[in-house]
Amino acid sequence: MAGLPQLIEEDMRELDAAVDELLRFSEAGAALLIDKGGPLLSQRGAVDKFDATTVAALAAGAFSATDMMARHLGETSLSHIYQQGRQAGLLISNVDDNLLLVVVFPAETGAGAVKYYATAAVARIAAQMQKAAQRAPGAGLDLVSLNTLDLSAVFRKRE
Amino acid sequence: MAIINQASKELHLKIVYYGPGKGGKTTNLEQVHANLGSVQEKGKLISLATSSDRTLFFDFLPIEAMAIKGFKTKFQLYTVPGQVIYNTTRQLVLRGVDGLIFVADSQYEKMAENVESFQNLEDNLRALKLNLADIPYVMQYNKRDLASAAPVDYMEFLLNNRDVRVPSFTSVASKCEGVFESLNMITRMLLNKNINEGSRTAV
Q: What's the predicted TM-score (pTM) here? A: 0.83
Beta-carbon contacts of residue A110 (< 8 Å; ≥ 6 apart): none
Reported as a single tens digit per residue, the pLDDT across A4-43 is: 777 788 888 999 999 999 999 999 999 999 988 888 889 9
Query: Quick one: which H or E segment has residue A25?
Result: helix A9-26
- The answer, yes or no, to whether residue B196 has pLDDT greater than 80, is no
Distance CA A155, CA B6 (A): 23
Residues with Cβ < 8 Å from B184, sequence gap 6 or more?
A: A152, A153, A154, A155
Give the max Cα distance, chain A. 54
Q: Model confidence over B123-167: pLDDT tens digits?
A: 999 999 999 999 999 999 999 999 999 999 999 999 999 888 999
pLDDT tens by residue, B89-124 = 899 999 999 999 999 999 999 999 999 999 999 999
CA–CA dist A31, A23 (Å, integer): 7
Q: Which of B189, B35, B187, B137 is nearest to A153 (CA)?
A: B187
Ramachandran class of B116: left when φ > 0, alpha when ψ lies in -120 to 50, beta otherwise = alpha
| Structural domains of chain A in order of their starting residue, each with its CATH number | 9-145 (3.30.450.30)
* The pLDDT value given to residue B24: 97
What is the CATH number that goes with domain B3-198? 3.40.50.300
Contact (CB<8Å) B48/A147: no
pLDDT of residue B7: 64
Instruction: Examine the pLDDT at B71 and tell me if it is beyond 60.
Output: yes
- Asked if ipTM goes beyond 0.95, one says no
Cα angle, residue B181 at apex, residues B177 and B186 outer, rounded to 5°: 140
Q: Note whether A73 contacts B: Cβ–Cβ < 8 A.
A: no
Does the distance separating the beta carbons of A9 and B203 come in below 8 Å?
yes
For B:132-171, CB contacts with A below 8 A are none
Does residue A133 carry a pLDDT above 80?
yes
Interface of A with B in 15-54 (CB under 8 A): 35-41, 51, 53-54
Q: What angle do CA A151, A152, A156 make, to 5 degrees?
A: 100
Among B58, B176, B194, beta carbon nearest to A143: B194
